[in-house]
Amino acid sequence: MKKAVSTATAMALSMMVGLMGVNASAYEAGSYDGVSITMLNTKSELQDYLVDAAAEWGELTGASLDVYTISDSGSPSQEIAARYAANNAPTLIMGDVQDVTDICEEYGADLSNESWAANGGETYGVSVDGKLYSFPFCIEGRGLIYNKTAIEETLGEEWDPSSVTNMDDLAALLEKLVENGMEYPVALNMEDYALGGHYLTQVYEEQDSTMETTSKFIDDLKAGNVDLMSNQRFTALMDTFDLLAQYNINKDDPLAADYATNCADLAEGEVAFYFNGNWAWAEISSYIEDGTEIGIMPVMQNETSENEAVNSSICGSATKQVMIDKECNDEQQQAAAKDFLNWLVESEEGQSVLIEQCSLIPAFTNIDKDVTNMLAQSVQNYVKEGKVINVPYSYPGDHWQTVGALMQKYFAGETDRATFATEIQDYWTGLAK
């Protein structure tokens, strides 16, 4: 039986708002001359920043940290399983909540006594039976990223994001943008994680925006007691997805969409809306011009009687978690890995990596640096207002890959909604067998 997993809660998320605390001078570099460690990075958009951070930390400590990422076709769970099967697990393993939960008792080092644990780590990390096994890498939020500047230039008038209160409002705005010369005002990613992990999970999370209901809803899916075609949240979110797909700049071949191109199209004003999260800033910022104003809003829906919060809140939580392996890495390597995490949280340089370079919203209360980009600031405003649907449910490791592939077929027009709904239900009932 799966033991209870402790992660961030909505209340804890709202308490994090201030990001106020002690100064970043607590870090003291250890000496790890000749120690070689590795890190699996599953946030590919941050690869260059983490490689640079590893080099900077290595100069301080004498250690060598090799950071590598997975291919777009792979998944964190598959990569982790393969590395353990080869008895060659990385020292630092970045994964989703479920990835860590599945293996932490057997393979993870106990991080409960690390200094950062009391400054947000215990709240946002993965704990099992009173032991903390992961370092919460960041707070992330997802929704419809908008280019306010491009919208106003296209319409020839000021635009207030708060004027869009439901899907009908969004539909009217998209049509108005087309009439004024923006042929395709939406960009949608095609990756299985974007579809199955970022978009479809809102069906589970937004039933009533609580962990308890999400868990019960999943249990009901496993038991075969859910008809998605009659579920209000599934219907509303898929209606909005169909609307976005109708205006998608990649409409002619949606599964050929390029992530970097989508980011560029949003930043340069080729499109007005882009479903993604604040992690996309690392790519968007490469293309954006000074003076361009962007932000994020919820995925607007029409059917909200069962959960009116969906049109005023974005989905977000402490997402990626970093575990330290104790099975394939010796005590010295584990100590060096702990030192690297301490450096990220407690040093000015490490904090700069997280906030200024990676543009992340930190999970640690001792960090008093402000987020520096418009997209993270927009997410943080939802945090401050208590308008974040934070449901850190531990989905199966293959969920976004399997269900995402099913959604890709729907996205490409190879299947209809009823078939897609049945396939999702079959996925969950199959887990219960």
φ/ψ bin of 205: left (φ > 0), alpha (ψ from -120 to 50), beta (otherwise):
alpha
Query: Which residues, 6+ apart, have CB-to-CB distance to 209 below 8 Å?
Result: 10, 307, 309, 310, 313, 389, 391
Between the CA of residue 121 and those of 22, 115, 343, 411, what are the distances in Å?
Answer: 15, 9, 14, 38
Rounded to 5 degrees, φ, ψ at 184 are -130, 100
Give the C-alpha distances (Å, rounded to integers) separating 37 from 67, 91, 201, 338.
9, 6, 34, 11
CB 323 within 8 A of CB 134: yes
Are the beta carbons of 161 and 296 closer than 8 angstroms?
no
The model's pLDDT over 60-101, given as tens digits with 9 standing for 90+, comes to 999 999 999 986 667 788 899 999 999 999 999 999 888 898
Q: How far apart (Å, rounded) are the C-alpha atoms in residues 92 and 96?
A: 13
CATH superfamily of 141-316+392-431: Periplasmic binding protein-like II (3.40.190.10)
17-138+319-366: CATH topology: D-Maltodextrin-Binding Protein; domain 2 (3.40.190)
Give yes or no for a contact between 361 and 63, defined as CB atoms under 8 angstroms apart.
no
Residue 192 one-letter amino acid: D
Distance CA 43, CA 35 (A): 25
Q: Give one DSSP letter per residue of 167-218, joined into a string.
A: HHHHHHHHHHHHHTT-S--EE----HIIIIIIITHHHHHTTTS-HHHHHHHH
Per-residue pLDDT in tens (0 to 9) along the chain, 433 residues: 333 344 433 334 433 433 334 445 589 888 999 999 999 999 888 999 999 999 999 999 999 999 999 866 677 888 999 999 999 999 999 998 888 988 999 999 999 999 999 988 887 888 889 999 999 998 889 999 999 999 999 999 999 999 999 999 999 999 999 999 999 999 999 999 999 999 999 999 999 998 889 989 999 999 999 999 999 999 999 999 999 999 999 999 999 999 999 999 999 999 999 999 998 998 999 999 999 999 999 999 999 999 999 999 999 887 799 999 999 999 999 999 999 999 999 999 999 999 888 878 888 888 888 788 899 999 888 877 878 887 767 788 789 999 999 999 999 999 999 999 999 999 999 997 7
Distance of CA 286 to the CA centre of its chain: 20
How is residue 6 annotated by DSSP? B
User: Which one, of 7, 114, 27, lies nearest residue 352 by Cα?
Assistant: 27
- As annotated, the residues of the chain forming the CATH 3.40.190.10 domain(s) are 17-138+319-366, 141-316+392-431
Spatial neighbors of 371 by CB under 8 A, at least 6 apart, are: 355, 359, 360, 361, 377, 380
**Measured between alpha carbons, how far is 151 from 174 in angstroms, rounded to an integer?**
10
Q: What is the pLDDT of residues 244-272, one digit of tens each?
A: 999 999 999 999 999 999 999 999 999 99
- Which residue from 65, 7, 27 is spatially nearest to 211, judged by alpha carbons? 7
Structure tokens at 145: 């990223």
